[in-house]
Amino acid sequence: MNRLPTSLKALGLLVVLSAAACTGATNAGTTITVLQLNICHGGMAGCYRGDAVLAKAVEVIESSKPQVLSVNEACSGDVDRLRQALGPARALFVAARDLDGTPTLCRDGVQQYGNIIMVTTTFAGTGEESGTYAAQYTAADGHRELRSWACLHAAELSACTTHLSSDNAPTALAQCQDLMNRVAGYPRPVVVAGDFNLKDQGVPSMRDCDPAGFSRRSDGSVQHLYASDDLSFDQSTSIDMAGTTDHPGRLATLTDP
C-alpha cells in the first residue's frame, strides 16, 4: 500500500454539495452523476488483478461521464490516468497510513496506497479537507492500516471519499459515524460515497450509521452512497467490472429538485 504526502491527502468517498446559501450553490434541477469504484490496485490483497482494472475503470469513466469520481484502494500514480479519462477535473489523493504514521505503499514499494476523489472543473473549487479517524483497528490480526477520509470543498459541489476498516465492524461503524457527524456540519446539499465495509445485515450494520436527514443507496454489500434529503436519487445502478476487482462499480444520478 502506498502513502501520499500531505499535499496529496484525501479520500475514501464522500461528496458534499454546497448549500443554496453559498454563492455558487447548485440550481434547482441540476443533475449530478457520482461514480464509486474500489479498484483493488494496491497489490497486497487477493483481489489484485494488475493493471487490467485501470483499463476497465477508464472504460467505465468514459462511458458514464460522472461529475464526481470516488476511487478506493488506488495507487497514487493512478490519479493522472483516471483524470485523463474523466476530463478537466480537480483531484485529491489521500494515503492510508501504517501504524508508525508513514504512508502505506503499493506493491511496487514506490507509489502510495489510498483513495482518490475527483470533481470536474464545472463544479470544482479550491478548498480541501482530510484526516485519519480517531477509531482505528490496530490488533495484530488486522491489516494494520490506519483509515482516512478526504473532501474537496466548492461553491457548486464538494466531494468526499473514504474506505473504512475491513477488520472490525464496530471500528468501521465508529469511523462512519465520525464522518457523518462531520459532514452534517457542511453546507447542504451533501452526498457521501465510499467503501464502508459494513453491510445492511449483521451486528453492527450499516443502518446503525444512518443519520437523520439523509437517504442512502447501496451496492447490496459494502459500498454505499448517502445524499441529504434536499437531493433526490433518480437512479442507482451496479456496474460489472468484468473480474478486474472484487467490487462492482456503483453509479448514482442525483437531482437538486
**Once rounded to an integer, what is the mean pLDDT over residues 147-174?**
89
What pLDDT score was predicted for residue 253? 96
Q: Specify the pTM.
A: 0.87
What pLDDT score was predicted for residue 166? 93
Residues forming a β-bridge with 235? 253
Share above pLDDT 70 across residues of the chain, in percent, rounded to a whole number: 89
Amino acid, res. 63: S
What pLDDT score was predicted for residue 73? 96
Task: From 93, 82, 70, select the one nearest 10 (Cα to Cα).
Answer: 93
| Position 151 pLDDT exceeds 80 | yes
Range of weakest confidence among 105-109, 228-232, 248-252: 228-232
Measuring CA to CA, how many Å separate 141 from each of 112, 167, 195, 222?
Answer: 23, 8, 21, 21
What pLDDT score was predicted for residue 26? 66
Parallel/antiparallel/unpaired status of strands 89-95 and 148-153: unpaired
Could you tell me what percentage of the chain is helix, strand and coil, using 3-state DSSP and rounding each to the nearest 5?
15, 35, 45
Task: From 108, 153, 148, 155, select the one nearest 130 (Cα to Cα).
Answer: 148
Q: Which residues contact 7 (CB under 8 A, 6 or more apart)?
A: none
pLDDT in tens, 96-137: 999 999 999 999 999 999 999 998 998 888 889 998 999 999
Range of weakest confidence among 117-121, 183-187, 210-214, 253-257: 183-187
Does residue 109 sit in helix, strand or coil?
A: coil
In the chain, domain spans: 6-255
Q: Which three cell numbers stand for residue 127?
A: 478548498
Grid look-up 451496479 returns 238
- CATH code for the part of the protein at 6-255: 3.60.10.10
**Once rounded to an integer, what is the mean pLDDT over residues 165-175?**
96
Q: Which three cell numbers stand for residue 45?
A: 490483497
| Rg of the chain (C-alpha set) | 16
Amino acid, res. 227: A
Grid look-up 502513502 returns 3
Parallel/antiparallel/unpaired status of strands 31-38 and 68-75: parallel
What pLDDT score was predicted for residue 129? 92
At residue 34's C-alpha, the angle toward residues 130 and 158, to 5°, is: 40
pLDDT in tens, 2-60: 444 444 444 444 444 433 334 345 666 789 999 999 999 998 888 899 999 999 999 99
